[in-house]
Structure 1
């Protein structure tokens, strides 16, 4: 039980850092997102990303 309580602050810190990092991504369909996708290699795009790119950035 003590090991868990000792590790708890570290785990919470990692969770908070993870939330901050994911909150920095631009919203899908925004100009920033379209620019990021244009720079990303096409082979790394998921099917959803390709569909969103076509929907928001091309059409």
Structure 2
């Protein structure tokens, strides 16, 4: 439907895997932890608003 699929040469894939720097994993881990921290801070900021909506959500649950 979208055209023919090109198969990759396995020998080229092995070469690209070997050329990746190992230090990149540490940077990704650090970035991931920063993003998780940002999400947690956002959730803490949303908590008061969610408390205001909880009666509405309870009402909807009862109706369903």
TM-score by length of 1: 0.42
Larger Rg computed on CA atoms? 2
TM-score by length of 2: 0.40
Greater relative contact order (Cα < 8 A, sep 6+): 1
